[in-house]
Structure 1
Amino acid sequence: MAHQKYQHCIEACHDCTAACEHCATACLGEKNVKDMERCIRLDRTCAGICALAEREMAADSEFAERICQLCAEICEACGEECARHEHMDHCRECAEACRRCAEACREMAGAGSGRTHR
């Protein structure tokens, strides 16, 4: 089953989605929200692509590998932005989740390279 084949990556995407949603919400409560604007935007983008990647892997989509490649790129950008604010617990935790997800997505996409598209 596809969901078992991609289980590690699916779990990393799920955890990253939750961390990004939490981070974006917490950032909105910070004193200077304007300074957190890029973080919030990337959190939302990252949560969206992680949820999409999770869903497409579970469905064994022919596009899952390419989506995971993009997911890794977005997770990396989000993680780097959150790392700039590591003095905030929510940003530090999000940066860690993003790094784990980027790694899992790269592994998943690399493991299946050569797969033909339907």
Structure 2
Amino acid sequence: MNTQYEECIKACLECMEACNVCYDACLREEDIQMMAHCIRLDRECADICAFAAKAMQTNSPFAKQICQLCADICEACGNECRKHKHDHCQKCADICFRCAEECRKMSA
């Protein structure tokens, strides 16, 4: 693993897991229509986090741009999750914001 990217990769993988957990939990909420945007962003965030981690692990020449996009999507997901009172959404928001911060450091 490229040690230059180690903290960001860790943050991305943690965020991917949190988004997958949140996605699954949102699907079981009573008002699933209210959770639709959250569910969509959970999926997109988990996918970009996995892609960003892979880009860094393979030392992609596009890693910085991918990390910038990842930061933007993580922030959007965190902002959406923050709107919901569920514990899984609040935890996901915290982790998304942390990942966005690490990805911004990488893309700078």
Does the TM-score normalized on the shorter chain lie above 0.5? yes
SS in structure 2 of the partner of residue 33 of structure 1? coil
- Which consecutive unaligned segments of at least 5 residues does structure 1 have? 111-118
* TM-superposed deviation, 1:96: 0.5
Q: Give yes or no for the alignment of 1:57 onto 2:56.
A: yes
1:7-86 alignment runs, 5 A limit? 7-85=6-84
* TM-superposed deviation, 1:7: 0.5
Amino acid at match of 2:17: A
Q: Distance in 1 between matches of 2:14 and 2:60?
A: 21
Q: Give yes or no for the alignment of 1:91 onto 2:86.
A: no
Q: Distance in 2 between matches of 1:6 and 1:100?
A: 15
Q: Distance in 2 between matches of 1:93 and 1:7?
A: 22
TM-score (normalised: structure 1): 0.90
* TM-superposed deviation, 1:5: 1.1
Amino acid at match of 1:22: V
* TM-superposed deviation, 1:41: 0.1
> In the alignment, what sits opposite 1:100?
98
The size of the alignment, in residue pairs, is 108
Runs of 4+ in 1 over 2 A off after TM superposition: none
Q: Give yes or no for the alignment of 1:5 onto 2:4.
A: yes
Identity of aligned residues (%): 55
Larger Rg: 1
Q: Distance in 1 between matches of 2:31 and 2:83?
A: 15
Q: Distance in 1 between matches of 2:55 and 2:70?
A: 12
Q: Distance in 2 between matches of 1:106 and 1:39?
A: 22
TM-score (normalised: structure 2): 0.98
